[in-house]
Structures are given as C-alpha cells and as structure tokens.
Amino acid sequence: MNKITKNNLITYGIVIFAYIVFEILMLTGNLSSHLKGLLVPMTYYAVIAVALNLCVGILGELSIGHCGFMCLGAFSSAFFSKATENVLPTVPRFIIAFIIGIGVAALFGFLIGIPVLRLKGDYLAIVTLAFGEIIKNVINSFYIGIDSKGLHMNMKSAMDLNMEADGNVIVNGAMGITGTPHNANFTIGIVVLLISLFIVQNLINSRDGRAIMAIRDNYIAAEATGINVTGYKMMAFTISAAIAGAAGVLFSHNITTLTASSQYFGYNASIMILVYVVLGGIGNIRGSVIAACILYMLPELLRGLNTYRMLIYSIILIVMMIVNWSPKIIAWREKKFGKSGMFGLIGRIIFRRNKEVA
Amino acid sequence: MSFLTYLINGLSLGSIYAIIALGYTMVYGIAKMLNFAHGDFIMVGCYIIFSVSAALSGNSVVGIIVAIVLCTLLGVTTEFVAYRPLRGAASPLAVLITAIGVSYLLENIALLIYGADIKSFSSVIKWEGVSFAGGQLKIQGVTIVTILVSVVILIALQLFINKTKQGQAMLAASEDKGAAALMGINVNRTIALTFAIGSALAAVAGALLCSAYPSLSPYTGAMPGIKAFVAAVLGGIGSIPGAMIGGLVLGIVEILSKTYISSQLSDAIVFGILVVVLLVKPTGILGKVVQEKV
C-alpha cells in the first residue's frame, strides 16, 4: 500500500471512528438532545469545509462566498422536496433532491467561475463575496408557488402570484421555505462526507489534481508546460461548488424554516468556514474535517459560559493563529522543542500545513 | 426634485463609505492585508461617542475627540499585538483570519458592555440644514457636513502623502518594504502610523454614519465595513482617489436602487456593479496594473 492510499484510508478511518463513537454514545443515551441536534450541522460544515479547501488549498484561489453555493443547493433541493412531498416516496425524492441541489450549485459554480476565475488574489476573493451576497439577496426576493395550473413566480410578493384556491406558496420571499421534510440524519451526513472526501482526495492524487496544484504553485510555469489553466481552474471550482451544494441539501433537509439569512449564508458564514479551512491547514483535507468538527462544537460546548463564549472563541482564534503562523514563534518553538516538540505533535495531527502553499 | 434629493443622500452615504474605504485602502496598500476588523473600529468609535456624550450630557464634540484618540490607540494596539507577529507568515491568509478574530472580539466586547439592543444615537450635528426652491429641496445638515468632511479628509491625505516625509515613507514602504528599510525608513513605525490614520478615519466615519443612521448595535460597523471594502476594490485598492470614487459610486447606486428598484435587491445591485467593473477593468477604476515577472 503506498503512502497516499494509506493517508486517504486514515482520513476515512477517522470519520468512521467518530461516527461509531457518536452512534454508541447516542444508543447508550449519553448524548444530550442539544448535542444530538449538532451532529448533522457538524457533518455539513465538514463537507463544505472540504469543498472550500479544494478551492482555497488545492486550487489556491481564496473564495469568501462559498455559502452562496450552499444556499443554492439548499433552496433548489428544498423546493423540489417541498413540491413533490406528496407525490414521490421519501427515498427516491431525497436522492433526486441531492442530484438537483448538487446540479444547481455546480451549474452556478460553472457560470460564476467563468468571470471570477479571470481575476486574481484579493480581487477574486471580493468578487466571490459579492456573488455570495447577490445569490442570498436574489433568493430572498423570490416568490414561487404551485397550484393546479402549474408554477407561478414573481419577485414582488406572495399575493401577486394570483394562484388558484388549491395553490401552495413554496418559496415565500424573505420568509423562505417552511416545512421541508426532515430527511437528513447523521448517517446520511457521514455518507455524504465520506463521498466528498473520496472525490476530493482522489482528485488531488490524480493527473488532474496535480495539474490543478501546478497552477496554484506557478500558473505561468504550468501554462508553459501545456496545462489548460482555465479548464482545470473551472473544473476545480465547479467541483468545489457542487460539494458545497451537497452540504446545502443536508442543511435544508435538517431545518424547519429555511431562509436565506446572513446568519447561515452571508459572508460571515463563508468566513467562518474559511476559518475552519485555515486552522485545519490550507490544502490539508483531513485537517479541514477535524477543524470543522472541533470549531463548530467549540462555541456550542462553551454555551455554559453563555455571554463569554464568543469572546473566548475569538481569543482562542487569535492566539491559535499567532502561535501557529508567526515566523518568530515558529522559530522559537523549533529551537526549544525541536521540530517534533510539544506543538509539533499537535501540529502534525491537526494543524499540519502544506509548506508549499504561499 | 426628489431625484436630486436622493442623489445628494447617495452622495452623503457615499462620502461615509469613502472615508471608511480610505482607511481600508491605506492599510491594504502598505501592509498588504485586509483588515476585516476595520468596520468594527467604526462601531467602537460610535459607542465611545455615545458613552462620552451621555456622561457629559450631550457634549458630542468632546465625544468625537475622545473617540478619535481611543480608536487611534486601538488601531495601533491591534496592529502591534495581533498583526505584527504575523508579518512575513507563510500564508497571507493567517493575518486575514486573525483580523476576523479581532473583529469577533470587538463585537463581543461591545455585546458584553452594551448588550444586543439597538441604542438610538443622537446626531453629533445639530444643524438643521438648508432648503432650496421654497422647501421642495431639503438638504439635511448632516448630509452637507458629511460631504464637506470627506472632501477635506481627501485633500489632507493627498497632501500628507505627497508632500511630507512620513507620507513619502509610506509610499516607499508600500512599494518595496525591503528597499524602504535599506533607505533608513522604519517600516514597522510607518505601518503603525498607517493604522493610526486609518483608525482615526474610522472614528470620524462612525460619528457621521451614526448621525445619518442613528441606530447603534455591536454589528453596526460590519456591513458598512464590507461595503467600504467593496468601494476600495471598486476604485482600485491602494489608490486614495480611487477609494473616494468607489465610495461615491457605491453610495449613489445604493440609495438610487433602494428608491427606484427594490430595497430587497439594492445590495445585490451594489455588488453586481463591483462584478461588472472588475470584469471590465480587473484592478478597479484607478488601480495600477502590476506586471507579473516570470
């Protein structure tokens, strides 16, 4: 077994191990209902962290609008599920919902990728932020209803839909979609996470993945060796958007009222996921999963401290960044403890970072 | 007539964005970092004015001075404690995430001290304003003052950067830190000075913002901060006249689209403009094109 396969298997192993531990805790009744409610969000945040790491770490383009793709996946799939709730049985409906959510997110990832990927660096970052906000705002002003005559849609108000008596407003503007069937559970979340890990890890170690990383490290050199820079960039960005869409499907099928609010889909949410990716290690897929789980749980577990929890979280964030990344502290650490010292160990497990990423 | 009123309101909002964007763009130009906490400096400034005015029973002039001084101190301290250790880190994202951490920290400190409820901020400008054409066109005092203040700040900054030694040092440090250090410029001090100016501007912007839109909460600064950043990028990040133009364009577009199209979609339109401009001119309206060397 070569090193890459072994490394990939360790990642799957960690996820499956965590799954078994949580399942046992749940079966033996050691998990409070509050904690149980956090399990599905934990999986979709891990999924979108993996997606974002593909974009930031492997493709090397900073995106701060990934929650926009999650939002698209969430709304398109929730719309489908709600519209066919009484028509299709649960299992095929949920599978089609996944396909629709992923497809819509991928389509928009592709369309948005065409202009966005022409830009570089911070300009690219701010445009992804802009697109994320545009998606959120536009979805917030959609009204879609269904009645015996078919679909009605406008951007004014639910009253203007002019529906028949049997009509049903599905997307109600800023009120969003209410009552999407709760089909997502922890097991499905873990399966989606494993599938996205499988896709991303195999992509990284394929010919395509190496081409993408070559573009990240030096696109001029990559272009000179005959790599289709635009094509590979589009490919990585679209796949990343599609996986974010899958996270969105999990999101919408786990929540009663789905609204395109800034709390879940604004730039702040996208930045929170970027924090997971950076603390987990840019370019380190396993790190993203672990960091997403820990950092999602951390403020929730600090809930006992109530008003101080976000304060503590922000201080931890600042201190961790300085300790992990400050050139002076890194030098001091290596002098004091050697490369595999105290922080080196934690660093190797969780915060291992890809030295090549500039 | 009403169109003219909206246009002037847009100009006023745009001037506020421009003042914030000036801080953003100066810090970015020299430290090459997005200071995500910049928007929260505005909020801190507003709360200081709010508290001091309340303590001195409505004397907002002292409040503004105290806010400018404290925000300057806050900016320099943040730079020293949180950003300076990360200068030269392996990834530029490290300092970005730290800035996000600082932003969370400031918001939560404000939340602890003042609570989440929205405070109503009494305008620091007591002037009623003027009306033209027999009362058909009313311009509020705060609108006029905002536009004037932003013009004064723009001119002062241009003079400072182009005519003084410290300003030239800033330009040099933003061009090439290593070469600037060899010329005897204290790069760290120059960056600290930039943060000081940027934060002082944030306090001024805060006073004007909350005078025009008198509701104050721990998240007051976040959205104007992001919009100002968009304005800085729109005008070409690192360019001072660019920040001004970007801010004005953004403010006018926001107010006009809110009035004539849809308040729901105005943010989408504002961000749409950014996308279109960057696609036509990828470095912003007045941005410099940097050739990449192989």
Chain B contact present for A310, CB below 8 A: yes
What is the average pLDDT across B78-93? 86
Chain B contact present for A222, CB below 8 A: no
DSSP letter for A58, please: I
Chain B contact present for A97, CB below 8 A: no
- Per-residue model confidence (pLDDT) at position A54: 94
**Is A279 close to B97, i.e. CB distance below 8 A?**
yes
Chain A nearest C-alpha distance from B97 (Å):
6
Beta strands in B90-203 (DSSP E): 119-120, 129-132, 137-140
Enumerate residues 42 to 71 of chain A having a beta carbon within 8 A of any beta carbon in chain B: 56, 62
Instruction: Supply A134's token pair.
Output: 């545009």
Enumerate residues 231 to 260 of chain B having a beta carbon within 8 A of any beta carbon in chain A: 233, 237
Chain B contact present for A142, CB below 8 A: no
Chain B nearest C-alpha distance from A129 (Å):
9
CB pairs under 8 A between A and B: 141
- Per-residue model confidence (pLDDT) at position A345: 43
**Is A122 close to B109, i.e. CB distance below 8 A?**
no
Q: pLDDT tens-digit profile of B20-35?
A: 999 888 888 888 888 8
Chain A nearest C-alpha distance from B34 (Å):
9
Chain B residues whose CB is inside 8 A of the A314 CB are 101-102, 104-105, 108
**Is A322 close to B98, i.e. CB distance below 8 A?**
yes
Enumerate residues 245 to 284 of chain A having a beta carbon within 8 A of any beta carbon in chain B: 267-268, 271, 274-275, 278-279, 282
First to last CA, chain A: 31
Judge contact between A82 and A237, C-beta under 8 A: no
Chain A contact present for B109, CB below 8 A: yes
Give exposure, B106-129, as e/b (b: 16+ Cβ within 10 Å).
bbbbbbeebeeeebebebbbeeee
Residue A353 has pLDDT above 80, yes or no: no
Lowest mean pLDDT among A22-36, A154-168, B7-21, B49-63: A154-168
Residue A93 has pLDDT above 60, yes or no: yes
For tokens 């304003």, what's the residue? Answer: B129
pTM as predicted? 0.85
Chain B nearest C-alpha distance from A332 (Å):
13
Q: How far apart are CA A260 and CA A237, in angstroms?
A: 22
Chain A residues whose CB is inside 8 A of the B34 CB are 122
- The more confident residue out of A261 and A357 is A261
Chain B residues whose CB is inside 8 A of the A274 CB are 93, 97, 100
CA A138 to mean position of chain CA atoms: 21
- Per-residue model confidence (pLDDT) at position B293: 62
Count the alpha carbons within 13 Å of A279 in the hemisphere toward its beta carbon: 28
Q: pLDDT tens-digit profile of B143-154?
A: 889 999 999 999
The dihedral through the CA atoms of A303, A307, A308, A312 has a sign that is positive
What is the average pLDDT across A67-78? 94
- Which among A59, A129, A133 is the top mutation candidate for probing chain B, defined by the most B β-carbons within 10 Å of its own β-carbon? A133
ipTM for the complex?
0.85
Using CB atoms, which residue from A282, A327, A357 is nearest to B88?
A327
- Per-residue model confidence (pLDDT) at position A33: 81
Q: How far apart are CA A40 and CA A76, in angstroms?
A: 19
**Is A327 close to B237, i.e. CB distance below 8 A?**
no
What is the average pLDDT across B113-138? 78
Residue A44 has pLDDT above 90, yes or no: yes
Chain A nearest C-alpha distance from B40 (Å):
14
Q: How far is CA A202 from CA A7, A107, A195, A230, B206, in A?
A: 11, 22, 11, 21, 50
Q: How far apart are CA B179 and CA B193, in angstroms?
A: 19
Residue type, B182: L
Residue A339 has pLDDT above 80, yes or no: no
Using CB atoms, which residue from A123, A137, A329 is nearest to B268?
A137
3-state SS string for chain A: CCHHHHHHHHHHHHHHHHHHHHHHHHHCCCCCHHHHHHHHHHHHHHHHHHHHHHHHHHCCCCCCCHHHHHHHHHHHHHHHHHHCCCCCCHHHHHHHHHHHHHHHHHHHHHHHHHHHCCCCHHHHHHHHHHHHHHHHHHHHCCEEEEECCEEEEECCCCHHHCCCCCCEEEEEHHHCEECCCCCCCHHHHHHHHHHHHHHHHHHHCCHHHHHHHHHHHCHHHHHHCCCCHHHHHHHHHHHHHHHHHHHHHHHHCCCCEECCCHHHHCHHHHHHHHHHHHHHCCCCHHHHHHHHHHHHHHHHHHHHHHHHHHHHHHHHHHHHHHHHHCHHHHHHHHHHHCCCCHHHHHHHHCCCCCCCCC
Neighbours of A31 (CB within 10 A): 17
Neighbours of A220 (CB within 10 A): 11
Instruction: Supply A311's token pair.
Output: 């304060």
Judge contact between B25 and B239, C-beta under 8 A: yes
Enumerate residues 39 to 68 of chain B having a beta carbon within 8 A of any beta carbon in chain A: none
Q: pLDDT tens-digit profile of A177-216?
A: 888 888 888 999 999 999 999 999 999 999 999 999 999 8
DSSP letter for B79, please: I
Confidence of residue B55 (pLDDT cuts 50, 70, 90): confident
**Is B267 close to A127, i.e. CB distance below 8 A?**
no
Mean of the per-residue pLDDT values of chain A = 85
In 3D, which of B14, B282, B135 has the Cα closest to residue A126?
B282
What is the average pLDDT across A277-300? 86
Judge contact between A224 and A79, C-beta under 8 A: no
Q: pLDDT tens-digit profile of A236-249?
A: 999 999 999 999 99
Chain B residues whose CB is inside 8 A of the A123 CB are 233, 237, 278, 282-284
Helices A285-301 and A267-280, packing angle to 10 deg: 120
Helices B240-260 and B222-235, packing angle to 10 deg: 120
Chain A contact present for B137, CB below 8 A: no
Residue type, A336: K
Specify the length of chain A in residues: 358
Judge contact between B257 and B270, C-beta under 8 A: yes
